[in-house]
Amino acid sequence: MKTNGIALEDIVAIVPKYIELRGNCTIAYDPEGQSYEIYRTVSTVLNWLAEYYLVDLRAARGFSANILAIRNLPPIPFNMENVFVPVKVRKPLFRNDGSFGYVNIEYVEDIMEEDATYINLNNGVSIRCLCSLPTVSRHIRNGHIIKKFWEGRSPVQTEETDLYGEYNQPATKWDIALLREEIMKMRETIR
Three-state DSSP class for residue 28: strand
> CA-to-CA distance for 123 and 9, rounded, in angstroms?
16
For the cut 70, the answer to whether the pLDDT of residue 164 exceeds it is no
| pLDDT-based confidence at residue 20 (cuts at 50, 70, 90) | confident
Inter-residue contact 84 to 104 (CB < 8 Å) = yes
pLDDT mean over 59-71: 91
For the cut 60, the answer to whether the pLDDT of residue 156 exceeds it is no
For the cut 60, the answer to whether the pLDDT of residue 146 exceeds it is yes
pLDDT digits (tens, 9 = 90+) for 121-137: 999 999 999 999 999 99
Domain definitions of the chain by residue range: 2-152, 165-190
pLDDT mean over 95-120: 92
> CA-to-CA distance for 121 and 14, rounded, in angstroms?
12
Q: Give the bridge partners for 104, in sequence order.
A: 84
| pLDDT-based confidence at residue 107 (cuts at 50, 70, 90) | very high
For the cut 60, the answer to whether the pLDDT of residue 1 exceeds it is no
Alpha helices in 38-105 (DSSP H): 42-52, 57-68
Three-state DSSP class for residue 153: coil
| pLDDT-based confidence at residue 16 (cuts at 50, 70, 90) | very high
For the cut 80, the answer to whether the pLDDT of residue 24 exceeds it is yes
For the cut 80, the answer to whether the pLDDT of residue 155 exceeds it is no
Ranking 1-10, 48-57, 62-71, 144-153 by mean pLDDT, the lowest is: 1-10
- Name the more confident of 36 and 167: 36
Provide the pLDDT for residue 162.
Answer: 54
